Amino acid sequence: MSDDQLTAEYTRVPRFEAGSTESVEYLEQQGYVVIADVLDTEQTATALDLTWQFLEGLGTGIDRDDPHTWSDDRWPIAVHGGIIPGQGIGQSAAQWFIRSAPAVKDAFASVWDDDELLVSFDGMALWRPASIEPAWQTNRGGSWLHIDQHPIGRPGFQCVQGLVNLIATSPEVGGNILIPGSHKLHDSIEERYTDRLAKIDPAIDHFRYPSDDPLLADTPPIMCHLEAGDLLLWDSRTVHCSSPGTNPEGGDAELQRAVSLVCMMPKARSNAEVVERRRAAVAKRTSTTNWSDVWVNADKFPNVLAADTDKYELPPVPELTEYQQALVG
């Protein structure tokens, strides 16, 4: 198997109601859970429209109706898996609209048994059609199978990440891949990957997981089918990534995948300094990672810093409702 190959079984898994006890139990056992319909059809359409407004508003000449204008020199900077972490996306109207859906908070509130939550200022994964330009195909899963929680710096249960899916998934296009139950391996990583871990600062919550790990041999990766409007939640210890599917160059000349990354954690886990920075981030249109208990500025990611960011216009400063301000802190 070459380094970047990863075969995942495309699977229809149970879809739970936001806030249900069953959804929390499934998450605890499997390390992931699908929450059905956190956005309805109309809300999903609005979310996609706002996503295009963000892209067109960058001022680089992107036109939603002309895929030939979606070229790298106009597209926002994308990192692994087509994730756009910066250019103000974390404070865009699209992201605020999606993360403010009541069912998104219900889902996280039941996980934490706490409804005083702060939301991440995350980005989105937007996949352009490789049928137009093969180079737009995103990284194959095996190249970035990972967990988002340092095994020593953050032991035990610490965070649940999520994505709101805006376009129904298919085996051909691909999408998120995860390894059910792999959150239970987290405690053993320190012992099994001592040398690798020694090179990673305990404050960096990203660990590339070897796809040939023998403990994964009996639990094949899955790619969950998601309807438009579904929320996928996973424990940050669950081994995951995304990958193009079986026919990535075969799709129509339109956006192939659009997901909004979203994460909520209890306000009680944060502190006054982090909250102050979060409040300032709204006006500055700064994006973050999934964590809201620490301050991590996604505009300072090396790939973002290395790029020519002057050409991008930031989205307008969002006017937040009381509900949204409470999610800032």
Which residues would be at the binding site for ligand AKG (CB under 6 A)? Answer: 81, 125, 148, 161, 163, 176, 240-242, 259, 261
Residue nearest to ligand AKG (CB): 176
Burial grade of 269 (CB within 10 A; 0-12, 13-18, 19 or more)? middle
The least CB distance from residue 120 to ligand AKG, in Å, is: 10
Nearest to ligand AKG of 69, 139 (CB atom): 139
The least CB distance from residue 248 to ligand AKG, in Å, is: 14
Nearest to ligand AKG of 145, 281 (CB atom): 145
Nearest to ligand AKG of 106, 148 (CB atom): 148
Nearest to ligand AKG of 44, 236 (CB atom): 236
SS3 sequence of the chain: CCCCCCCCEEECCCEECCCCHHHHHHHHHHCEEEECCCCCHHHHHHHHHHHHHHHHHCCCCCCCCCHHHCCCCCCCCCCHHHEECCCCHHHCHHHHHHHCCHHHHHHHHHHHCCCCEEECCCCEEEECCCCCCHHHCCCCHHHCCEECCCCCCCCCCCCEEEEEECCCCCCCCEEEEECCCHHHHHHHHHHHCHHHHHCCCCCCCCEECCCCCHHHCCCCCEEECCCCCCEEEEECCCCEEEEECCCCCCCCCCCCEEEEEECEEEHHHCCHHHHHHHHHHHHHCCCECCCCCCCCEHHHCHHHHHCCCCCCCCCCCCCCCHHHHHHHC
The least CB distance from residue 5 to ligand AKG, in Å, is: 17
The least CB distance from residue 266 to ligand AKG, in Å, is: 20
Nearest to ligand AKG of 7, 321 (CB atom): 7
Measured CA to CA, the distance from residue 66 to residue 139 in angstroms comes to 24
The least CB distance from residue 125 to ligand AKG, in Å, is: 4
The least CB distance from residue 247 to ligand AKG, in Å, is: 18
Work out whether strand 9-11 and strand 160-165 pair parallel, antiparallel, or are unpaired.
unpaired
The least CB distance from residue 15 to ligand AKG, in Å, is: 17
Per the DSSP assignment, residues forming a β-bridge with 124 are: 84, 260
Nearest to ligand AKG of 170, 176 (CB atom): 176
Nearest to ligand AKG of 238, 270 (CB atom): 238
Nearest to ligand AKG of 257, 285 (CB atom): 257
The least CB distance from residue 232 to ligand AKG, in Å, is: 7
